[in-house]
Chain A
Amino acid sequence: GQQVMQIPQYQHVQEGEDFTTYCNSSTTLSNIQWYKQRPGGHPVFLIQLVKSGEVKKQKRLTFQFGEAKKNSSLHITATQTTDVGTYFCAALTSGTYKYIFGTGTRLKVLA
């Protein structure tokens, strides 16, 4: 079945450093969503991308959808301890009616 891979699996950064997680699909996607799950918590919706090459920003977070709509990235500028958690992408493929969650990237921020 379809797989959505994220790299890296884990990332430890010093507070203030930047962080990027990449989401890759073997098939062309219709939409992609990003979620954040804090330790012990549940996924919380961050953003949805629909258009090829789309870039969206939320304060220190920048989201990008690849031109070929097969990959996406989330970049956090100047990480803070509140950014700790696991970031998941979730991908919707044309003709399907479900989002497949990526493998996730767990971020730890060291103060």
Chain B
Amino acid sequence: DTEVTQTPKHLVMGMTNKKSLKCEQHMGHRAMYWYKQKAKKPPELMFVYSYEKLSINESVPSRFSPECPNSSLLNLHLHALQPEDSALYLCASSQDEFSAASQLTADTQYFGPGTRLTVL
């Protein structure tokens, strides 16, 4: 099973709402990621979790709060978002956290289908 699942597929929220995005993988991967992708742009890394611990936060505003309840699940809690936060939010996982010395297959990132978020 090489699938990463994300829910919901679409989300529309107001600026005062609180919502959560969910991501799940059952490949035994030890690293999980949140990316943000605006239309016609490349994915931008937001957070990296390695062995359920936050290892990278790319200076993401605190209105985005990640959580890794266990090795298979990754959540992204949203609060007081702005319209410019509207984007496709992609979750990904890989066997291990990246390093130049890693095995060739360990770096492969498996992406979920994404949650298309609209903030009104």
Which A residues form the contact surface with B (CB < 8 A)? 30-31, 33, 35, 41-45, 48, 50, 88, 90, 92, 94-104, 106
Known: A44-B111, A45-B108. A102 touches B100 (CB 8 A): no
Most buried by A among B42, B56, B98, B113: B42
Say which size band chain B's interface belongs to. Answer: 20 to 34
* Complex CA–CA separation, A4 to B69 (angstroms): 33
Chain B interface residues (CB < 8 Å from chain A) = 40-45, 48, 55-56, 58, 90, 92, 97-100, 104, 107-114
Q: Are B98 and A48 touching (Cβ within 8 A)?
A: no
Residues of B within 8 A of A95 (CB): 100
Q: Which chain A residues lie closer than 8 Å to B43 at the CB level?
A: 43, 88, 101
**Known interface pairs A33-B107, A43-B111, A45-B110; A102-B42 also in contact (CB < 8 Å):** yes
Once A97-B55, A97-B99 are accepted as A-B contacts, the answer to whether A42 and B112 lie under 8 Å apart by CB is yes
Residues of A within 8 A of B40 (CB): 104, 106
